[in-house]
Chain A
Amino acid sequence: AQSVTQPDIHITVSEGASLELRCNYSYGATPYLFWYVQSPGQGLQLLLKYFSGDTLVQGIKGFEAEFKRSQSSFNLRKPSVHWSDAAEYFCAVGDYGGSQGNLIFGKGTKLSVKP
């Protein structure tokens, strides 16, 4: 079955510290992978995506993610967290090559930032 697992429900980091949010997926076809961020009461904003090519992808707001096929993982990283990064982060997998393109989301990781 197709699924996305985000093992950490809630993470707290200090401002300026590094961050890594974990994402593991199970998908039958070639996965297209995404990270979205959601602030309270807001919709989802795309941080970055992986379709093919270089397995280290850069996104907005200084985020990056690395696709590791052998580990079925797509972890999100940021070298130095800012207080404004506090939000909920969702990993998603989909098949944009197909006709549907609908995404399967993980349950999310809530990030809190300590001053």
Chain B
Amino acid sequence: DTGVSQDPRHKITKRGQNVTFRCDPISEHNRLYWYRQTLGQGPEFLTYFQNEAQLEKSRLLSDRFSAERPKGSFSTLEIQRTEQGDSAMYLCASRRAAGELFFGEGSRLTVL
């Protein structure tokens, strides 16, 4: 396994700008998850894909957030009109149908 890969690892942006994060899951994993982790907190579920279908979205995922997994492989998470409250670590994870979750190293967002 090459592991779950996330890019970029760190993004600094100004308030109001758009940012996009990419996640490449482990190749044979059909389930992909996005989580957000703020300082001093555990990861919080944002959204979940099974293949290319987005099956669940948390209420944390406001209308400024959009996630896609167009071909059932990599996924992108876009945040439009960023706010300072969006500053967090965005974690991607993947798994097989009945397997454990494997997490990437995360993409840290800092909104100035």
Interface residues of A (CB under 8 A from B): 4, 34, 36, 41-46, 49, 90, 92, 96, 99-108
Closest residue on chain B to residue A9 by CB atoms: B40
- Residue in B31, B44, B55, B103 whose CB lies within 8 Å of A44: B103
Closest Cβ of chain B: how far from A15's Cβ, in Å?
A: 26
- 6 further A-B contacts with Cβ under 8 Å, apart from A44-B43, A103-B45, A107-B41, are A36-B103, A44-B91, A92-B42, A99-B55, A103-B43, A105-B42
Complex CA–CA separation, A60 to B55 (angstroms): 32
Q: Is the interface of B mostly helix, strand, loop or mixed?
A: strand
Question: Do B42 and A43 touch across chains, with their CB atoms under 8 A apart?
Answer: no
Closest 8 CB pairs of A and B: A105-B42, A43-B103, A102-B45, A44-B103, A43-B105, A105-B43, A90-B42, A107-B42
Complex CA–CA separation, A34 to B43 (angstroms): 13
Question: Do A100 and B44 touch across chains, with their CB atoms under 8 A apart?
Answer: no
Give how many A-B residue pairs fall within 8 Å (CB-CB).
52
Question: Do B48 and A42 touch across chains, with their CB atoms under 8 A apart?
Answer: no
Complex CA–CA separation, A100 to B43 (angstroms): 16
Question: Do A43 and B91 touch across chains, with their CB atoms under 8 A apart?
Answer: yes
Interface residues of B (CB under 8 A from A): 4, 31, 33, 40-45, 48, 50, 55-56, 91, 93, 95, 98, 100-106
- Residue in A46, A104, A108 whose CB lies within 8 Å of B45: A104
- Residue in B48, B102, B103 whose CB lies within 8 Å of A102: B48
8 example contacts (A-B, Cβ-Cβ < 8 A) are as follows A34-B100, A41-B105, A42-B106, A44-B103, A46-B101, A100-B48, A103-B101, A105-B44
Closest Cβ of chain B: how far from A31's Cβ, in Å?
A: 15
The residues of A that contact B45 with a CB separation of less than 8 Å are 102-104
